[in-house]
Amino acid sequence: MALAVDTQLGVGMRFKVTIDKTSYDLGSWAKVSGLDVTWDLIEYRAGDGKNDKWYFPGLTKYSTVKLERAVQKADTEAVRGWLESNSFAMEVQSGKVELLDAKSEPVMHWTLRHVLPAKWSISPFDANASKVALEVLELAHMGFLENE
Q: State residue 39's pLDDT score.
A: 92
CB 3 within 8 A of CB 85: no
Percentage of residues in the chain with pLDDT exceeding 70? 89
- Calculate the alpha carbon distances from 112 to 17, 62, 80, 145 in Å: 10, 10, 20, 8
Distance of CA 101 to the CA centre of its chain: 18
Dump pLDDT digits (tens) for 10-50: 666 777 888 886 666 787 888 999 999 999 999 988 777 67
> Rounded to an integer, what distance in angstroms lies between the CA atom of residue 34 and that of residue 63?
6
Q: Has residue 57 got a pLDDT over 70?
A: yes
Q: State residue 23's pLDDT score.
A: 63
What is the average pLDDT across 100-118?
Answer: 87
Q: Has residue 68 got a pLDDT over 70?
A: yes
E strand or H helix at 78, and its extent? helix 73-85
Which one-letter DSSP state was computed for residue 35?
-
Which of 27-36, 96-105, 119-128 comes out lowest in average pLDDT?
A: 96-105
What is the average pLDDT across 105-131?
Answer: 90
Please classify residue 106 by burial: count the beta carbons closer than 10 Å to its beta carbon, then call 0-12 exposed, 13-18 middle and 19+ buried: middle
CB 96 within 8 A of CB 112: yes
Dump pLDDT digits (tens) for 71-94: 999 889 989 988 988 888 777 788
Q: State residue 90's pLDDT score.
A: 77
Q: Has residue 99 got a pLDDT over 80?
A: yes
